[in-house]
Amino acid sequence: MPKSFQPEQFVASQVRAIPRSGIRDFFDIVQGMKDVISLGVGEPDFVTPWHIREAAIYALERGRTGYTSNLGLLSLRQAISKSVEQDFGVAYDPAREILIAVGVSEAMDLAFRAIINPGDEIIYHEPCYVSYSPGVSLAHGVPVAVSCRAEDGFSVTAAAIEAAITPRSKALVLNFPTNPTGGTMHREELLKIAEVACRHNLLVITDEIYSELTFEGEHVSIASLPGMVERTIFLHGFSKAYAMTGFRIGYACGPREIIEAMMRIHQYSMLCASIISQEAALEAIRHGRPDTREMREQYRLRRNFIVAAFNRLGLPCHLPRGSFYAFPCIKSSGLGSKEFAVRLLEQEKVACVPGGAFGPAGEGFLRCCFATSLEQIQTAMDRVGRFLERNRA
C-alpha cells in the first residue's frame, strides 16, 4: 500500500532552512487591529508624483502594453546611464552594462544566482535588510555576517570585513544608507574597503536604493573609487526616491559579462520588467529630481523630531544620516526587541519592527520608519512615553 502523500517532503532543503521574514511575521499581528500608528513598513507615505503616474497612464493610452528587450527599454537604460554618471561618477554602457529588473530585490537575486557556486561565501553587514542572507542561501552560497555597532553610526569597517575573509569568500554586499539603521559610509573608510576587495579579489555588490535620501555629507558609491568599477555590481531603483514602490522597477549596472549572466536568468524568469512601469521610471529619472528634494526635506524634519523624542524618552538613538529609519536602543527597558514591539503594539497600538528581525546584531533595537506624517509621529512618541511609564511601574 503506498505511503500517504506528505507535501513537505518535496520542499527543497535550502528553502526549508530559511526563516520567514521577521518583518512580515510581526505584521501578521497588526492585521485587523484598528487605530494602529505604523512606524513599521519601509514605504514612503507620499503618493507617486502626478507627472510620473501620468506617464504610466499615457503609456497605456498609447497601447504600450507589450514586451521590451530582456535588458529593458533602451531609452530608460540611456537615461539611467546619464544619471548614474552625473550623480555617482560612474560610466556604464547602456547597451550592454545595464539591466532593468523588477525592483532592486530581483536585481539582487539575479546577482546572487549569477555569481554564486555552491559553498561560496558572501560577506554582508548586519543589521541589514532581511533578504540578503536568505538570498545567498537560496543561491546555495554561505552568508557571512559582519556586525555594525551603534557607536560607529552603524557603518562597517574595512578591518571587520577583512577579518571575515576566508579562501571561500567571493563577494561583499554593501547597503548604504542602510535599512534598518540609516547608517552611512565616509569616503575614507570606503577607500580602505575597496583596497581590501582588490587585494582579496572580491566582487562587491552595492545596493544604493536610499542614496538620494542622504541628509548630511556626500554619498559616495564604492563603484566610483579607483579599481572598483570593474569589480562592482551597482544596484539602484525608483521605489524610495520617487515613492514608486508599487511600480517594482530597479536596475543593475556592472561589467558586461556579469550583466549578461544576470540577463540570462532574468529572461527565463521575469523575461522583462513591465513596460508601463519602465515608461513611468523614464519620466521619474528625467523630471523627478524636484519631487525627491521636497520629499527628502520632509523626511529630514521627521527624522530630527523622532530621534530627539527617543533620546528624551531615554531610548538612545543615533542620528541616521540617510534613509527614513530610526533605530533606537531599547535595552534599558529590560525587554527583548520582539517582546517590546509586541507589548507596544498591544498596549499603545504603535507598530515598530523588532531589531532582531534584521539579524542578531539588531537585537536590543527597534526599527521605526519615519515615512509617515509628523502628526502621526508625534502621537506615536506620546504613546511610547506612556508605554515606558507603564512598564517601569
Q: Give the pLDDT score at 9.
A: 84
Q: Give the pLDDT score at 29.
A: 67
Give the number of other Cβ atoms within 10 Å of residue 78's Cβ. Answer: 14
Q: Give the pLDDT score at 34.
A: 80
Question: Residue 115: which H helix or E strand, with range?
Answer: helix 103-115
CA distances from 382 to 90, 145, 173, 284, 379 (A): 45, 36, 38, 37, 5
Q: Give the pLDDT score at 391.
A: 84
Give the number of other Cβ atoms within 10 Å of residue 294's Cβ. Answer: 12
CA distances from 309 to 42, 44, 301, 302 (A): 20, 21, 12, 11
Question: Residue 284: which H helix or E strand, with range?
Answer: helix 275-287
Q: Give the pLDDT score at 2.
A: 67
Beta bridge partners of 29: none
Q: Annotate 137-161 with DSSP letters as a single string.
A: HHTT-EEEEEE--GGGTT---HHHH
Q: Distance between CA 238 and CA 245 in Å, rounded?
A: 7
What letter represents residue 374's amino acid? Answer: L
The closest of 287, 354, 348 to 37, measured between CA atoms, is 348
Q: In this structure, is the dihedral angle defined by the CA atoms of residues 247, 281, 253 and 70, taken in order, positive or negative?
A: positive
Q: Give the pLDDT score at 8.
A: 84
Question: Residue 258: which H helix or E strand, with range?
Answer: helix 256-269
Contact (CB, 8 A) for 283 and 143 = no
Give the number of other Cβ atoms within 10 Å of residue 368's Cβ. Answer: 30
Question: Residue 235: which H helix or E strand, with range?
Answer: strand 232-237
The closest of 24, 354, 329 to 154, measured between CA atoms, is 329
Q: Distance between CA 326 and CA 367 in Å, rounded?
A: 6
The closest of 327, 333, 281, 270 to 303, measured between CA atoms, is 327
What letter represents residue 388's amino acid? Answer: L
Q: Give the pLDDT score at 22.
A: 66
Q: Give, as one character, the DSSP assignment of residue 255.
A: -
Backbone region of residue 53 per phi and psi (left: phi > 0; alpha: psi in -120 to 50; beta: other values): alpha
Give the number of other Cβ atoms within 10 Å of residue 383's Cβ. Answer: 16
Q: Annotate 52-93 with DSSP letters as a single string.
A: HHHHHHHHHHTT--S---TT--HHHHHHHHHHHHHHHS----
Q: Distance between CA 185 and CA 241 in Å, rounded?
A: 19
Q: In this structure, is the dihedral angle defined by the CA atoms of residues 294, 298, 303 and 304, taken in order, positive or negative?
A: positive
Here the cell at position 368 is 521605526
Q: Which residue has the cell 533605530?
A: 327
pLDDT in 10s for each residue of the chain, 393 residues: 567 888 888 888 888 888 777 666 666 667 777 888 989 878 899 999 999 999 999 999 999 999 999 999 999 999 999 999 999 999 999 999 999 999 999 999 999 999 999 999 999 999 999 999 999 999 999 999 999 999 999 999 999 999 999 999 999 999 999 999 999 999 999 999 999 999 999 999 999 999 999 999 999 999 999 999 999 999 999 999 999 999 999 999 999 999 999 999 999 999 999 999 999 999 999 999 999 999 999 999 999 999 999 999 999 999 999 999 999 999 999 999 999 999 999 999 999 999 999 999 999 999 999 999 999 999 999 999 999 998 875
Query: 98-101 and 353-354 as β-strands: parallel, antiparallel, unpaired?
Result: unpaired
The closest of 106, 101, 141 to 18, measured between CA atoms, is 141
Residue 388's contacts (CB-CB under 8 Å, 6 or more residues apart) are: 313, 314, 315, 333
